[in-house]
Amino acid sequence: MDSLTFAIMNNLLQEVENSKAEINNFSTTDKNPAEVFRIQFLGSKGLIKSLMGEMKNVPAENRREMGQVLNDLKLFAENKYEELKKTSDNGQETTGSEVDLSLPGEALPLGSRHPISIVRNKIISIFQRLGFAVAEGPEIEDDWHNFTALNLPENHPARDMQDTFYVSQNPDWMLRTHTSSVQVREMKKGKLPIRIICPGRVYRNETISARAHCFFHQVEGLYIASDVSFADLKQTLYFFVQEMFGNTIKVRFRPSYFPFTEPSAEMDITCLICGGTGCNVCKHTGWVEILGCGMVHPKVLENCGIDSNKYSGFAFGMGIERITMLKYQIKDLRLFSENDLRFLKQFTSAV
Ligand code: 2NL
């Protein structure tokens, strides 16, 4: 082999080696890498074609050998091309991702509302139809808003029944024991008349059992205007239970005592389980208690800056858990806060 032939062959073999490395390391950010590769290596103006063109400079006796080398390179490039086509073919039909966006989505399982939320929303919507607005306030309260303003001065025995949790940074702060504190805040604003309901979570220092928990949910209501009477209170609450439980329900009011109302009453409805004939839910009386109510005590009005000679009002308070237990015949209050899906799933259709 003369030195010129050697140089030509050597050069061509070097180029073949470089091309192999280039093919191996091929990468592009283009959406269609296979096509870019085909043009660069296998196309009519591609690298392999141009190397083939150099065969004319190879002496006849070395052509077979060099032809083999170039054919191998071509095969190598074709394999790479097939490989690239496989991965970019999917992409070509979509937007370059592996996900086929034209497929229908996977159905998401339908969630359900918590029974307490279902009943709270129902209570809110009934009172909204009567013109009551929803008011909210803080769960951490000070002593005045939670107790003193409501005619529960320090050392009043009723405070014992509403023992709660205190905030260690400030002995004046506690978790509210009722949402009356929200109503106190609304009265203090001084805008009259007031017609509000206050749903929310409240706390009490209770031993947890089937009937009591250290937190529960309440809806309180307050209506203050220039001549609100006990008859207004009775008719409002009667309307409420008919909407809530159906219009065959009967009610009765029993005299009671709350420091913040005078007179005070508790309202019973005919037992939903036995329809009034007597069962163990109503302790064979035919009646179940559902809420407490009364005319706002003049002292409470004065404490909140309202002239009790000009204005009167009624207030009521109910536990949402209690209403929910009656409505859905739930026997243990702890079920509401255990997050057991077997319980919660039963309310899927009760939106
Ligand atoms: C019950 C009884 C009641 C009230 C709450 C109230 C609020 C203000 C003034 C006067 Cl700001 N009263 N609320 C009145 C009577 C009863 O709740 O058994 N709740 C679960």
pLDDT of residue 158: 77
Q: Which helix (H) or strand (E) holds 266?
A: strand 261-270
- At residue 273's C-alpha, the angle toward residues 270 and 276, to 5°, is 35
Distance 230 CA to ligand 1 centre (A): 14
Distance 180 CA to ligand 1 centre (A): 6
* pLDDT tens digits for range 176-203: 999 999 999 999 999 999 999 999 999 9
Distance 14 CA to ligand 1 centre (A): 95
Q: Mapped to the 3 state alphabet, what secondary structure does 34-93 carry? A: HHHHHHHHHCCCCHHHHHHHHHHHCCHHHHHHHHHHHHHHHHHHHHHHHHHHHHHHHHHH
Distance 334 CA to ligand 1 centre (A): 24
For residue 183, the ligand 1 atom closest to its alpha carbon is: 11
| Diameter over CA atoms, the chain | 127
Nearest CA to ligand 1 atom 18: 292
Q: What would the mean pLDDT of 145-161 be, rounded to a whole number? A: 88
- Any idea which residue has 């702060």 for tokens? 173
pLDDT at 322 over 70: yes
Partners of residue 268 on adjacent β-strands: 252, 289
Mean pLDDT of the chain: 92
For residue 184, the ligand 1 atom closest to its alpha carbon is: 11
Compute the distance between CA of residue 326 and CA of residue 344 in angstroms, rounded to an integer. Answer: 17
Q: Which of 152, 233, 261, 268 to mutate to test the pocket of ligand 1 (most atoms within 8 A of CB)?
A: 261
Q: Structure pTM?
A: 0.72
Compute the distance between CA of residue 335 and CA of residue 344 in angstroms, rounded to an integer. Answer: 9
The answer to whether 261 and 293 are in contact (CB under 8 A) is yes
Confidence of residue 16 (pLDDT cuts 50, 70, 90): very high
C-alpha to C-alpha distances, 267 to 91, 120, 136, 147, 199, nearest whole angstrom: 69, 19, 25, 23, 19
Q: Which of 151, 206, 260 to mutate to test the pocket of ligand 1 (most atoms within 8 A of CB)?
A: 260
For residue 304, the ligand 1 atom closest to its alpha carbon is: 11
Nearest CA to ligand 1 atom 20: 318
pLDDT of residue 228: 98
Nearest CA to ligand 1 atom 19: 317
pLDDT of residue 340: 96
Confidence of residue 57 (pLDDT cuts 50, 70, 90): confident
* pLDDT tens digits for range 60-72: 888 898 999 999 9
Residues with CB under 6 A from ligand 1: 180, 183-184, 218, 220, 222, 258, 260-261, 292-294, 296, 300, 315-319
Distance 268 CA to ligand 1 centre (A): 15
Distance 316 CA to ligand 1 centre (A): 5
Read off the tokens for 144.
């005045």
Question: Which DSSP state fits 252?
Answer: E
Distance 203 CA to ligand 1 centre (A): 15
Higher-confidence residue of 272 and 195: namely 195
For residue 260, the ligand 1 atom closest to its alpha carbon is: 10
**Quick one: angle between helices 60-93 and 3-24, nearest 10?**
10
